[in-house]
């Protein structure tokens, strides 16, 4: 299906009695009504996504830096941003049935969308590579396994699961979330053998002069899922309507993500983390040290847990590049997965700080422009204007990214992500008013 046809297709125009294919992924068209899924099914896709060891690591890093209660506040503020941001984009996806690429056509243009889509669909493959490499790194540090061979084997398995499609993402979410809650709870119980809850509540942080600002802590929370959060339409387009799309994403932000990060923060505050300054609230070591049944269960947990985020990210990238190239999702999943696994084996996970900085600076303005263009401004008579390239959208994206980078370099007390979102919103609204006034003359 061509870009132009895909852009103009309306989900509601597809007959409800159209033939259904259980394996169809609708890469280049809106998901038709007869193929939409229940709130439980789509919510499960998002629920298990953020409940991963990576979030425990970041939650622990935040608490180690700013203390327990300030850390919880930063986690709450960051998740409030994600709730509004991802929730709005998910509502739009459930309403239209369109994936991220099809949605971006309306805001960035029939040709311009390719820049945004290619960028994000590539960024998430980098995140896939990081998490695949982290699988090997975590098991090397906790169980003595060879990091690269483990990453290679895990990556092949993650690609295989992704090939099943959206059904696999729903299933892995239903498994990953309760498993995280179970083992995270066990880790806290083990930590309470040597500490008390009051010790955690009184924890003030240990980073000293190297402590991050509150703004940086909020940005870290946002950056952790801003890439796939912006591409949430690839998941929530399967929702039956916009309202269910929003509630499906609510399972992740604030629920799943907050729980995952607070558990990591609690591990650090209780003194149970092995290396809180660098490995945050990673509680896998504490589980393996306990021995017994926890050892095999913990090893399986790593593959299920990090496999959840890897399969989601690879699915995002494959769906995005499917629209760009016209090929099927499964073929792109194999090709992109091979690239991601190679990067993982080469050690890309060692650059995660720079990666998160990039995400926090460049990505938030994209979703901001989409939300304003397709959800907010049409309510005030400023409807979508179709064109090959919508330069006002790119201008707002660029302004937001530049301002976020400036905040990162010269105003670290501020949140890069929030600065970028605010700037992009102001510039885009001003640009749209200018365009509308010019058209009226």
What's the CATH code of the domain at 260? 1.10.4160.10
Tell me the pLDDT tens digit for each residue of 237-260. 999 999 999 999 999 999 999 999
Could you give the CA distance from residue 441 to residue 436 in angstroms, rounded to a whole number?
9
> Is pLDDT above 80 for 122?
yes
What average pLDDT does this structure show over 75-79?
Answer: 98
Look up residue 231 and give its DSSP letter. Answer: T
Q: Are 257 and 79 in contact (CB under 8 A)?
A: yes
Residue 253 lies in a domain: yes
Tokens of 104: 């971006």
Specify if 190 maps to a domain: yes
Residue 276 lies in a domain: yes
| 324-365 tens-digit pLDDT | 999 999 999 999 999 999 999 988 766 766 777 788 899 999
Q: Is residue 277 part of a domain?
A: yes
Residues 54 and 224 sit within 8 Å (Cβ to Cβ): yes
Average pLDDT for residues 65-83, to the nearest whole number?
A: 98
**Per-residue model confidence (pLDDT) at position 438:** 66
Q: Is the peptide bond before 153 cis (omega within 30 degrees of 0)?
A: no
Contact residues for 86 (Cβ-Cβ < 8 A; gap 6+): 225, 229, 230, 232, 249, 252, 253, 367
Residue 168's contacts (CB-CB under 8 Å, 6 or more residues apart) are: 161, 162, 311
Query: Mean pLDDT across the stretch 395-410?
Result: 96
Count the domains in the chain. Answer: 1
Q: What is the pTM of this model?
A: 0.90
Residue 399 lies in a domain: no
* 376 has pLDDT over 80: yes
Q: What is the pLDDT of residues 281-321, one digit of tens each?
A: 999 989 999 999 999 999 999 999 999 999 999 999 999 99
109 is a domain residue: yes
Query: Which structural domain, as residue segments, surrounds residue 205?
Result: 36-349
Residue 51: inside a domain: yes
Model confidence pLDDT, tens digit, residues 53-73: 999 999 999 999 999 999 999
Q: Is the pLDDT of residue 16 over 90?
A: no
């Amino acid at each position: 299906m061509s870009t132009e046809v895909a852009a103009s297709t309306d989900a509601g125009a597809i007959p409800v009695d159209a033939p259904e294919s259980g394996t169809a992924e609708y890469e280049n068209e809106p998901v038709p009504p007869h193929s939409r899924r229940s709130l439980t099914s789509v919510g499960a896709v998002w629920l298990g996504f953020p409940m991963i060891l990576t979030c425990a690591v970041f939650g622990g890093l935040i608490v180690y830096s700013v203390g327990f209660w300030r850390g919880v506040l930063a986690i709450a503020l960051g998740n409030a941003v994600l709730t509004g941001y991802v929730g709005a984009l998910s509502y739009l996806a459930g309403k239209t049935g369109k994936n991220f690429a099809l949605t971006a056509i309306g805001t960035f243009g029939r040709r311009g969308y390719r820049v945004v889509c290619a960028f994000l669909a590539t960024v998430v493959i980098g995140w896939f590579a990081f998490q695949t490499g982290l699988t090997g790194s975590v098991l090397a540090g906790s169980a003595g396994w060879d990091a690269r061979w483990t990453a290679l084997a895990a990556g092949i398995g993650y690609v295989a699961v992704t090939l099943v499609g959206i059904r696999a993402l729903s299933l892995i979410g239903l498994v990953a979330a309760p498993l995280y809650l179970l083992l995270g709870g066990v880790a806290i119980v083990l930590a309470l053998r040597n500490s008390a809850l009051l010790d955690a509540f009184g924890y003030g942080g240990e980073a000293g002069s190297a402590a991050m600002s509150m703004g940086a802590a909020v940005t870290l929370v946002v950056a952790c899922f801003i890439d796939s959060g912006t591409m949430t339409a690839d998941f929530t387009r399967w929702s039956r309507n916009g309202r269910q799309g929003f509630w499906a994403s609510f399972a992740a932000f604030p629920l799943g993500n907050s729980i995952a990060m607070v558990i990591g923060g609690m591990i650090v505050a209780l003194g149970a983390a092995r290396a809180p300054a660098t490995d945050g609230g990673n509680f896998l070591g504490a589980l393996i040290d306990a021995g017994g049944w926890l050892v095999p269960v913990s090893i399986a947990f790593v593959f299920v847990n990090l496999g959840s985020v890897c399969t989601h990210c690879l699915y995002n990238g494959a769906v995005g590049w499917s629209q760009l190239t016209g090929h099927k999702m499964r073929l792109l999943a194999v090709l992109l997965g091979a690239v991601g696994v190679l990067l993982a084996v080469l050690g890309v996970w060692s650059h995660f700080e720079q990666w998160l900085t990039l995400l926090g600076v460049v990505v938030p303005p994209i979703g901001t422009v989409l939300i304003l263009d397709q959800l907010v401004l049409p309510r005030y008579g400023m409807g979508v204007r179709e064109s090959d390239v919508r330069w006002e959208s790119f201008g707002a994206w660029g302004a937001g990214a530049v301002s976020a980078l400036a905040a990162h370099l010269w105003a670290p007390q501020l949140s890069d992500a929030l600065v970028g979102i605010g700037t992009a919103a102001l510039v885009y609204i001003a640009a749209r008013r200018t365009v509308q006034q010019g058209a009226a003359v």
